[in-house]
Every structure is written in C-alpha cells, then in structure tokens.
Amino acid sequence: MHNRALHDWPTELYDAYIFDMDGTIYLGDQLLPGAQRMIEELRHQNRIVRFLSNNPTKDPEQYVEKLKKLGIEVDESDIANTVVTTVGWLKHHYPEAVVFPIAEQPLINALHKAGIRISDDPTKIDIVIASYDRTFDYRKLQIAFDAIWFEKRAFLIATNPDRFCPFPGGRGEPDCAAIIAAIEACTGTTCREVIGKPNPIMLEEALGDTKAEKVIMVGDRLSTDIAMAGACQIDSAMPLTGESTVSDVEAVPEALRPTYVLDRVDRLIPQYLWEQHNWSEERDHTQN
C-alpha cells in the first residue's frame, strides 16, 4: 500500500475493484457522475468488480434491484453487505446462540433462513445484535438492557460502526452507532464485535475465492472503507461524493490516508483511457 499526493489519478488498472455503494456509486436514488461508464469500462477490461455495503437494511437481492434500476447490471454474487457477513459470523462462531436482533426485516429474514434462533425473552437471549434500525424504540432497548444488565447472560455485537447514513443534499439518518451507544450507555457493556467495515471480514466476503493480486477498495468514508483497506494492506481510493472531505484526509496521519482522493469516482479509470474514449466531465457516454 502506498500514498500519493491528493487528487492524483491511478496510472494503471487494478485486478479487482471493491466498491462501497452509498456515497460512492450512488447517493440516495441518484447515480453519481461517471459511475456507470466506469463499471462498464472495468468489465470491458476484464477486471473483477464487487460491491460492498455496511447497510443492513437491504439484502443482496434488493441491492441487485437498486443497481439495475440505476443502470448497473450485477449478480447477487457480486454483492456483500452486513446482512451476509453478520449471519456468516454467527453461524461460524455461535451457531447455537439465541439472538435478539435490533434490526430491520432483511437481517431478521436472513437469520431465520440460516436457522439461527431468535427471541425477545431476556432470559433466553445469548447475543444482542445492534443494527441500523429505523424501528428502534424503548421496548427494544429495555429487552437489550434486561438481557445484558439484569440477566447478565447476553453480550452485544453490531452489524456496522457507521454514525449516520448519508442522503442527498447533505442530510443523513442515524445509523448503527447510535443504537450501540444507547445500549452501551444504559448497560455499561462494551460491544464485543462489529462485523462491518473496517473489519477485514467484509473484504474477505467480497472477494470470496477470487485470487486477485492487485486489489483496491473504493469508498467515501475514512473511518470504514479506507481504514479497512489499511488493515488489509491494499490500496484505496476515496471519492469526495459522500461523508469524508479533503480536510478530513489532511487531518489524519499519512498512514491512515487513502492512496487516492478523487473528485469523482470515474477518475479510477487511468487518464490514458479517458483520452482513448474521449471522456469528459461534462458529459459521459451514458447520457448520449
């Protein structure tokens, strides 16, 4: 892994590209500039393309549908998110555990499908799962409190560490970190495992059995996407289309910075290919 000057372009293609989605490929329901032509070019160049998200409110099938609606064709096997990795982690480490998911339906459905037992009875719960849950309420907090603090039998894990989910127009929505903080505050416990980025588990899940030598992680968040790349000792690129800014990058030590900072995600394509295809910022070929 190596760092260059801010805004420097890659000069060559990588073997595999792992893309965050929210804030990197799209923002809300809007495809970000150049994303479609970039993906098409990488596939034309026979590069491995995978998509990775910390958002557990959708399962891979829903991400396939969303990307297809935005004009990017993908297979379910191209996508890994914290629904997949959380269920996989539980099956590997605690297959017999009874869990209480503070989560939305995609994760609950996946737990059921995997045969993992679910309960809201604090006397039976072994693991409380904190997640990005827009149905979070006091009842759920009380159950977690009773299972962890009163019964002293459960421990806390989380699907992802994100503080908020970015929306178009600079807005956002509280994410899993808010749920973790509420449970930790009242129980005095500490979350034992956070499955999502920057946990290297996520990159392993995205790559699967792929044997790519030169891999790059592309995402808009220093604290998750870029930190995971650093932990895995691979290159990284941060488009300035989501959470983190140039000022954020400049505020951290060089070892924690992305290899590339890009004003738009299709800068991942080397400049010689831009010139070869006569690409410009004002108009990409998907608008023709």
> For residues 126 and 102, is the Cβ–Cβ distance under 8 A?
no
What DSSP state is assigned to residue 22?
A: B
Q: Model pTM?
A: 0.84
Three-class secondary structure of residue 283 per DSSP: coil
Q: Can you tell me which residue has the tokens 């588990």?
A: 201
3-state secondary structure of 271: helix
16-54+197-287: CATH topology is: Rossmann fold (3.40.50)
User: What would you measure as the largest C-alpha separation in the chain, in angstroms?
Assistant: 66
Instruction: Output the six-digit token pair for 180.
Output: 């973790």
Nearest C-alpha neighbor of 38 from the set 258, 223, 262: 262
Residue 107 has pLDDT above 80, yes or no: yes
30 three-class SS: strand
Domains 16-54+197-287 and 83-194 share a fold: yes
Read off the pLDDT band of 284 (50, 70, 90). Answer: low
> What homologous superfamily does CATH list for 83-194?
HAD superfamily/HAD-like (3.40.50.1000)
Contact between 288 and 265 (Cβ < 8 Å): no
pLDDT tens per residue across span 30-45: 999 999 999 999 999 9
pLDDT in tens, 38-71: 999 999 999 999 999 999 999 999 999 999 999 9
Is 134 within 8 Å of 57 (Cβ atoms)?
yes
Omega of the bond leading into 198 within 30 degrees of 0 (cis)? yes
């910022």: which residue's tokens? 281
The whole-number pLDDT of residue 4 equals: 46
Tell me, what amino acid is at 270? P
Q: What does the mean pLDDT of the chain come to? A: 92
Average pLDDT for 192-221: 92
Q: Domain ranges in the chain?
A: 16-54+197-287, 83-194
